[in-house]
Amino acid sequence: MLDRLLKLLQGDPQTAAEEPHFSVAVLLVEAGLMQGDFTEDERAMTARLLSRRFALSPDEAAELITRAEVRARSTAQYFPFTNSLNNSMSIDDKIEVVEMLWRIAYVDGVLDPFEDQLIRQVGGLLHVPDRERMLARKRVLGS
């Protein structure tokens, strides 16, 4: 019974890594976990960003975040998720993902060095130029 529930929450690992919305959700949750806890503010911002980007209902966003949180807590690898996005998104879409990561990092008003490192690493894996990554950060700070 517990195994079935865990499989339901995690989803099929192969399929999950191939779904762009799931890959984005895992990366956003990972950014939220960088300071040790995925706060309610980070969770709410993640839900808003996912709902807006993928036209999800609040319930769909919450379910996606739950699955993503289970996955983010069980792996330290970003490649399956960034690879999925590289195979399915344009550079403009990937820049938007980086901007979403900055929004999660700054939801508490403070950038943690681990959050900064995550965004650098994910930006590199997504082939987002440093200049575009920094412009995305400026947009977030200016809003």
This prediction has a pTM of: 0.86
Instruction: Residue 126: give its domain's CATH number.
Output: 1.10.3680.10
What is the residue range of 98's domain? 2-142
- Is the confidence at residue 16, as pLDDT, over 50? no
Over the stretch 106-134, which tens digit does the pLDDT of each residue have?
999 999 999 999 999 999 999 999 999 99
Neighbours of 124 (CB within 10 A): 14
* Number of domain units in the chain: 1
Over the stretch 35-80, which tens digit does the pLDDT of each residue have?
888 999 999 999 999 999 999 999 999 999 999 999 999 887 899 9
| Confidence category of residue 1, pLDDT binned at 50, 70, 90 | low
- Is the confidence at residue 5, as pLDDT, over 60? no
